[in-house]
Amino acid sequence: MVLPFRSRPVFPGIFTPIMLTDNQDIELVEQSLQSDGFLGLVMTKEEDIDYPGADDLHEVGTVAKIAKKVNLPDGGINVFISTVKRFHVKKVLNPQHPIVVAVEYPEETNTEGDEVKALTRSLIGEMKQISENNPLFSEEMRLNVVNIDQPGRLADFIASILNVERTEQQQVLEEMDVHKRMEHVLVFIKKEQELLRIQQRIQKQINEKIEKSQREYFLKEQLKAIKEELGMPADSKSSEYKRFKEAVDNLPLPGDVREQVEQELEKFNLMEPQAAEFAMTRNYLDTIINLPWGEPEAEEIDLKHAQQVLEADHYGLEDVKERILEFLAVRKLRKDSKGSIICLVGPPGVGKTSVGRSIARALNKEFFRFSVGGMRDEAEIKGHRRTYVGAMPGKIIQGLKVVKSKAPVFMIDEIDKLAVSFQGDPSSALLEVLDPEQNWSFRDNYLDLPFDVSNILFVTTANTMDTIPAPLLDRMEVIRIPGYIDEEKIQIARKYLIPRSMKRAGLPRGAVKYTKTALLSIVNGYAREAGLREFEKSLDKIHRKIAKLRVSGERQEQVKITPENVTVYLGQPVFREERAKEVTHPGMAVGLAWTPHGGDTLLIEAVSNPGKEGFKLTGKLGEVMQESANIAYSYIRFVAGQYNVSPKYFESNQIHLHIPAGAIPKDGPSAGITMAVALLSLATGRKIRKGIGMTGELSLTGHVLPVGGLKEKTVAARRNKIKEVVIPKANEPDLQEIPEHVKRGIRFHPVEDMDEVLQLLFKK
């Protein structure tokens, strides 16, 4: 009868216990004891077979004699067996339980000879070496290796105690040639020795690391004790902790804030410097101790000093300066700086940022500026939570950390260019910052502590109010900064731009002299804009060329810039004399337009072509402007009879209305009356007189409705030498806000309906 073995084969000449729990195996042992007590032990081909048959077993096994059986409490048995010799399955008598086979007992070959003796000595010697370095080998195993006198049995015993795969052990069991069997086992021993060498090397490396770390630990502890005796900080962490502790103790923190900060401080003290959160907590504490927690000093506003600063820094802008001085006077009387938000609105290059800087100088306050143009992430305002790698506080807390003042002037540039994305809405985050009802306990996500930012004077800038979110605009006091006329640009150039540009170019005072006409030609030919940036760039270009001439030795005397030699330094003018903006034919009219870059003139052209009735619009007009054009067309057809225009004119002509600069998008309703005038001029064949511009929205019944940006439009009219301006009657009060030097020389015609406009330009 055969007892299947799933784990490893059992070799001959071994006395060993076997524990059996399977009922079939126990039954097999009982049957064997009732007969002669012998069993055949054969290993299964696969290790995970539950009920093996004869086909699942190897053909070579070991005969074993059952010496003793012990019943176990769990129902299993422990059998002590003594293995006798190998057998080979000759025939299967019963393939299933109980498996019965007929066997033969093959004899071993090559059991003697010099090579066998040499292999025997090699096996014993190698096993001694393994047993000495491996604590798993017991003393009994060592004695057995030495005392076994049969070479085949020695190879079997060594194969049974080595950590070898079951299939390789089965190959040893099936090998009847003792010489080959011993060679197989010798190969196994060599593999085991190699594994032991690798294991010893790894163990040695680990021991060296442990010894090194222990040595470093003891040395550090000794160094710490020595430093403590000398009164020195024990290590960098202790030094940091001591610095933080002293700073936190001296900070005037509110009770709840102090409690949280001290918790962070103690957590920092317990951290190891190698910990992942160590650097993050250190940066957090560093931010806290560098913030201005104390109450700000009382403001001392000197209006006379403030006026001197504003006058020294800026030419003109009288209404802007007056508004700022009024604003500062209210702060002085209230003795309360909270709820102060200024929004400076104007074209690029008119000095919005420098006005904000001047406000800080006038108040003797620290100044911090950052731009929110294109900002998409609200974390830029409110900070990132500390759970993120590389977390930082928002711009507000960063600015306070830089200026180290609780009541500075913060300038937020480009507030009209905030964006929205999946990362949040920065404009909503700014609401809490700018709202005086909320910002006394502003919570930055990184800081996660209430911080009072209500003492900050916020100054925002924008090119247009149209794109500023309404809730933000509601919290701000808007101050408009219009563009400059030519005379103002010349004065600003002489007082500010030319000296500053010459200093940048390294030129001494008096190296360049400009005539007034030269500056005027630069303004009209190269820098026709509301602001001063292009003007200053043109001056820089002139001064760079002169600096080159001086360095090369070509010219050392003073250079005089006149209209005749401006092109030598700046090239051909960018802006030519625009004859196209003059009314030269019937069907043309000049309107005044507002753009984010300031006021501008808008030429409108209309022509008619005989053919089928129609109305065509070109010039990249927006939806609102297209509607205004259609209203103007319908109104002129309605009143055309009063001006001797035949109704058949519109029925037999296709009208084409165009606004030049077709690549530039245009929109808004304020060109309504201008388009109507152009259409009536075309229909009557009468050209309107030169030097007149107009602005106003037209309703379908002929009412002229008010428009915005009158100040900027007036500046544009003066820049383009327009002498008369037609404006809506409702905008007449806005004329009071326009400086007298801008209005000087311009005649305004306030009108209530389109009939007044047409009577002004045409006779019925």
The closest of 747, 714, 750, 712 to 732, measured between CA atoms, is 750
Please give the angle made by the CA atoms of 304, 361 and 397, to the nearest 5 degrees.
Answer: 140
Question: Does residue 450 form part of some domain?
Answer: yes
Distance CA 152, CA 156 (A): 6
What per-residue confidence (pLDDT) applies to 22? 78
Q: How many domains does the chain have?
A: 5
Q: What is the pLDDT of residues 192-230, one digit of tens each?
A: 778 878 887 888 888 777 777 788 778 777 777 776 677
Question: Does residue 443 form part of some domain?
Answer: yes
**619 and 664 together in one domain:** yes
Predicted TM-score of the model (pTM): 0.60
Question: Does residue 225 form part of some domain?
Answer: no
Answer yes or no: 690 catalytic.
Answer: no
Distance CA 558, CA 562 (A): 13
**599 and 457 together in one domain:** no
- Residue 437 makes CB contacts below 8 A (sequence gap 6+) with none
Q: Has residue 580 got a pLDDT over 60?
A: no
**Residue 744's CATH number:** 3.30.230.10
Q: Has residue 234 got a pLDDT over 60?
A: no
**444 and 520 together in one domain:** no
**260 and 348 together in one domain:** no
Domain end call among 66, 81, 104: 104
- CA-CA distances (angstroms) from residue 539 to 196, 350, 512, 536, 564? 84, 17, 11, 5, 16
Answer yes or no: 69 catalytic.
Answer: no
Do residues 40 and 87 lie in contact, with contact meaning Cβ atoms separated by under 8 Å? yes
- CA-CA distances (angstroms) from residue 584 to 489, 588, 632, 636, 673? 30, 7, 21, 21, 19
Domain end call among 58, 84, 104: 104
Question: Does residue 447 form part of some domain?
Answer: yes
**725 and 604 together in one domain:** yes
**717 and 640 together in one domain:** yes
Residue 355: both structure tokens together: 């006005």
**494 and 639 together in one domain:** no
Q: What is the pLDDT of residues 252-263, one digit of tens each?
A: 888 788 888 888
**Residue 534's CATH number:** 1.10.8.60
Q: Has residue 134 got a pLDDT over 70?
A: no
Question: Does residue 174 form part of some domain?
Answer: no
Mean pLDDT, range 392-420, rounded to an integer? 86
Domain end call among 289, 321, 351: 289
Question: Does residue 178 form part of some domain?
Answer: no
- Catalytic pick among 32, 358, 670, 681: 670
Q: β-strand 614-618 against 653-658: which pairing, if any?
A: parallel
Question: Does residue 79 form part of some domain?
Answer: yes
The closest of 679, 666, 659, 673 to 727, measured between CA atoms, is 673
**Residue 51's CATH number:** 2.30.130.40
Q: What is the pLDDT of residues 107-119, one digit of tens each?
A: 877 777 777 778 7
What per-residue confidence (pLDDT) applies to 132? 65
Q: Which of 8-22, 359-373, 389-403, 703-717 has the lowest mean pLDDT?
A: 8-22
**Residue 323's CATH number:** 3.40.50.300
**554 and 684 together in one domain:** no
Mean pLDDT, range 721-729, rounded to an integer? 91
**564 and 586 together in one domain:** no
**270 and 308 together in one domain:** no
- Catalytic pick among 365, 382, 489, 713: 713
**319 and 415 together in one domain:** yes
**756 and 639 together in one domain:** yes
Q: Which domain holds residue 63?
A: 2-104
Question: Does residue 127 form part of some domain?
Answer: no
